[in-house]
Chains A and B, each alone.
Chain A
Amino acid sequence: MKDYRKQFWLGVRDLLPLMSGVLPFGLITGATGVSLGMDPAMVVGMTALFFAGSAQLAAYSLIQDNAPFIIIVATTMVINLRFAIYSASFAPILGPLPKRYRFSLAYILSDQVYGLCSMPMEMAKNRSERIWYLAGVALALYVTWMISVILGIVLGAGIPAHWSLEFTIPLAFLAMLVTTITSRLLFMVAMISGCCAIAFQLLPFNSGFIVAVVAGVSGGLLLPSWLKMKGRSHE
């Protein structure tokens, strides 16, 4: 038992350096919410229900544009599809747990949890050690996120509009984009998707986003085989 507690606190400790990235993102999320005229309780409720910053920021801009209900749901679901990767990676250790632990740990899965808990050093530990470590990281991140959004709500009301703070949202997505591009194929996917997003931004009901993502992913699936075929014809 003592050993497991050690793993939990190890997880909390490993998350600390990542807080420098989570805190400002939470501040932006909270501040933007109130700047759109939503009341603070609503922003907190939204944050707790979503527990997904990127989806929340995307939802803000769609709400602002008066996009239809179903488009907002579809867009946020596509953004959150990445959680399926995390769910798949942790299924072997979390799947056999009793329901209440399985559900609560699934609810607090996040990008940072995936990043820390899928490192080679973690994979070498035994199953219960990994669960306790994951719980430490996930819980620490959850608390950090909620506190930083609430701080953002408190501070956000005082920020003047001409600072164009809403531009921090695309900048934050751009910074994340740069770190996710790790190969030439992923760069092509981003280019296709970005160009389509511009080309289709006037499509009705803000559906351009979904069209662009589908185009980018299809490009990523088809390009390698096309390029291979081209290579063969040169032989």
Chain B
Amino acid sequence: MSDNLQLWLLFIVVGLGTFFIRLSFIQFHGSAEALIARSKHILMLLPPAILAALCIPAIVFTRPLTAYQPDYFQWIAALIAILIARFSRSVFWPVTGGMICLWLLRYMSS
């Protein structure tokens, strides 16, 4: 199996899965009220759990091929991004501010 073919297969499986999650309650409207009420609490807890698991390791460590090593510049850039995110609700400004901070730190230390 070629690599590209495998990737396409992956995208189609994920695409279909995502579509069925989106359709789930809409499709079973009327017969799933109890399930909705019961799962709503768990679903509310998911976003912070998912986002934290996605970003925290990638911020704390750089990902070279050999070993995981802490990157303090990334920590400072992330702190700046958190500060900005508390004031602006968009994703754009925290990312921009964090990246500028990272570039400045690397430029100054080189």
Contact = CB atoms under 8 A, between A and B. Distances in A.
Interface residues of A, number: 88
B47 A168 contact: no
A229 interface: no
Closest 3 CB pairs of A and B: A95-B29, A49-B15, A216-B49
A137 to B, nearest CB: 15
B105 to A, nearest CB: 11
Interface of A: 20-21, 23-25, 28, 38, 42, 45-46, 48-52, 54-55, 58-59, 61, 63, 69, 72-73, 76-88, 90-92, 94-96, 102-103, 106-107, 109, 163-165, 167-181, 186-187, 189-198, 201-202, 208-209, 212-213, 216-217, 220-221
Contacts of B92: 20-21, 23-25
B56 A83 contact: no
A198 B57 CA distance: 5
B: interface residue count bin: 35 or more
A90 B90 CA distance: 24
Interface of B: 4, 6-15, 17-19, 21-30, 32, 36, 39-61, 68, 74, 77-78, 81-82, 84-86, 89-92, 94-96, 98-99, 102-103
A20 B90 contact: yes
A88 B92 CA distance: 29
B99 A73 contact: no
B29 to A, nearest CB: 3
A111 B61 CA distance: 29
Contacts of A23: 92
Given A84-B39, A180-B48, A163 B103 contact: yes
Contact of A189 (B9, B29, B39, B49): B49
A221 B41 contact: yes
B14 A49 contact: yes
Contact of A190 (B12, B51, B86): B51
B95 A171 contact: yes
A173 to B, nearest CB: 4
Nearest to A178: B85
Contact of B94 (A86, A171, A221): A171
Contacts of B57: 194, 197-198, 201, 208
B55 A174 contact: yes
B53 A197 contact: yes
A96 B29 contact: yes
Contact of B48 (A42, A107, A170, A177): A177
Given A109-B22, A178-B82, A49 B12 contact: yes
B25 A170 contact: no
Given A25-B91, A76-B18, A91-B26, A58 B99 contact: no
B51 A180 contact: yes
A193 B17 contact: no
Contacts of B27: 95, 102, 106
Given A77-B21, A164-B102, A45 B11 contact: yes
Contacts of B10: 59, 63, 69, 72-73
